[in-house]
Structure 1
């Protein structure tokens, strides 16, 4: 196909359908999406994309394959799985787009750290092979519901997979807040902000703010004050049944801003109250490499493990994980 050729669309049918998300502003993501669509089509599956992404993909596509269009020839409830080609931001964008569905997502990292991704760019062909053969499992990640109140009126009702961050709206003036857990105030202070995170988000903004890393299998929530002027402003890990809240005091008249997953934002007037609880609807992620989370930490953060020899006596839990997986030099 030349540069001026039109996109190729197909009608939905009973064949397995795989939704392909791509950061189409990046050439490597467009190339990866073309390769994934071609491999899926060759295996007899139907690649699906939204129209805008497909039109961006079609430019300079030399050997296009038929691709279905989400919401037009294929309904989202017909989709088996979503493949996200990009970084963590692309995965968060995809999770937002399919929030009302049961579609699991698998990420192929084309970015930097890519903590949410299951595979790297060089694993793309293997990842698609596993999708074709159905060789994957699905895990559920906790999400949070986020509500904003002002004067007894709810002015926002949204959600997040990683975190909701309450931040100062003016870089020259800190916000004055009172933090609360389980409907009881804990402390008040001036700060740059407060991060309210899930275990998944503990390796994102909360981690940058000095919070602990929480294993994804742990059911908990996390509150991390940012640059707080207070003696008691430590990160807090709460129960999954807790309600975390931040009240923006009108003391100094400073306005704030709420960010959810770094994507959705809302200005916060003085006196606003932000409440966070566990969402009843988790985000579903497909897994193909059941490695321990500790191995993911080592790989993503490039942590030094040279010299590690492991337990002196092998056990079923340790013998399944070769030392060379963590320390290739051993």
Structure 2
């Protein structure tokens, strides 16, 4: 079977018990399909797999034309942000729990990868947020997010007071435990647990969800994705901002978190017949 790809990056949730033999099996399978294989550097270091080349994420993007991610959605989030700027498509092999974006069951990876490597797959593009923290007119921190950007109160402090604007227009001032600005992909993550709706990935919008708002009328709202969102910290101690729950910057009063649509999109490949609605039915047990 001819291959549409030439060089696969292999990324694993290296903390997971028993991950090494799974990665070895997948690597040998891909090599048997005619692909070169390189491991992501942290995956190689922490599993002790040395038979293949290892690269940092930025180098993977330059050398590889496919990424196979073994783990859960958290593993996928970490590498997807890095590879989006290189337009490398990603396949998710699920060894986690829910697996909204790592959707190929690990016990079925051979059937799925065999046909996908040959070019038989469904492809979708997911929008990302990019944002920065601005202090006294200077950007002091910037990052991407595939799921969400969260402004939180301090661990031991009370509520945080925030002022939110879209473009030049202020839309809300709120006191709450925090605020989530999520992509459609992130609508099934933290935003969902905070009471937000599920937003289909094809919708060009962001979801804004207050966390435990002091005022019950502060409800989730879907905003257009063609403008800049500004979240300003008005009051509250030890506030912070998280990008996909991985990167953190402490915030002071007057700091602004400015968010906009990234120029880069994440490319996901799925087995033929994949359905977003089917994923929701399985993961959320809507068939019960």
Larger radius of gyration: 1
The alignment status of 1:260 with 2:243, answered yes or no, reads yes
The alignment status of 1:294 with 2:277, answered yes or no, reads yes
Corresponding residue to 1:228 among 210, 213, 216:
213
User: CA, structure 1 residues 155+75, in 2 after alignment: closer, same or farther (shift >3 Å)?
Assistant: closer
Residue of structure 2 in register with 1:116 after alignment: 101
Instruction: Map 1:142-291 to 2 at 5 A.
Output: 142-250=127-235, 253-291=236-274
Contact 2:64 2:88 in 1 (8 A): yes
Instruction: Map 1:10-159 to 2 at 5 A.
Output: 16-58=6-48, 66-70=51-55, 76-159=61-144
User: CA, structure 1 residues 28+127, in 2 after alignment: closer, same or farther (shift >3 Å)?
Assistant: farther
Contact 1:23 1:30 in 2 (8 A): no
Contact 2:120 2:272 in 1 (8 A): no
User: CA, structure 1 residues 76+180, in 2 after alignment: closer, same or farther (shift >3 Å)?
Assistant: closer
Q: Give how far 1:37 is off.
A: 0.5
Per mean C-alpha deviation after superposition, the further-off stretch among 200-209 and 253-262 is: 253-262
Measure the CA separation in 2 of the matches of 1:79 and 1:106: 13
Per mean C-alpha deviation after superposition, the further-off stretch among 235-244 and 128-137 is: 128-137
Contact 1:163 1:198 in 2 (8 A): yes
Q: Secondary structure at the match of 2:264?
A: coil
Contact 2:6 2:65 in 1 (8 A): yes
Q: Give how far 1:71 is off.
A: 5.8
Aligned CA-pair RMSD: 2.1
Measure the CA separation in 1 of the matches of 2:43 and 2:142: 28
Q: Secondary structure at the match of 2:156?
A: coil
User: CA, structure 1 residues 16+291, in 2 after alignment: closer, same or farther (shift >3 Å)?
Assistant: closer
Measure the CA separation in 2 of the matches of 1:205 and 1:238: 17
After TM superposition, the score normalised by the length of structure 2 is 0.91
CA displacement 1:114-143 (0-9 Å, x = unmatched): 111131111111222124322224321000
Measure the CA separation in 1 of the matches of 2:230 and 2:150: 11
Q: Secondary structure at the match of 1:143?
A: strand
Measure the CA separation in 2 of the matches of 1:71 and 1:207: 33
Measure the CA separation in 2 of the matches of 1:96 and 1:159: 6
Higher share of residues assigned strand: 2
User: CA, structure 1 residues 173+234, in 2 after alignment: closer, same or farther (shift >3 Å)?
Assistant: same
How many residues in Structure 1 have an aligned counterpart in Structure 2?
Answer: 283
Q: Which runs of 5 or more structure 2 residues have no equivalent in the other structure?
A: none
User: CA, structure 1 residues 120+248, in 2 after alignment: closer, same or farther (shift >3 Å)?
Assistant: same
Q: Which runs of 5 or more structure 1 residues have no equivalent in the other structure?
A: 1-14, 306-330
Contact 1:144 1:198 in 2 (8 A): yes
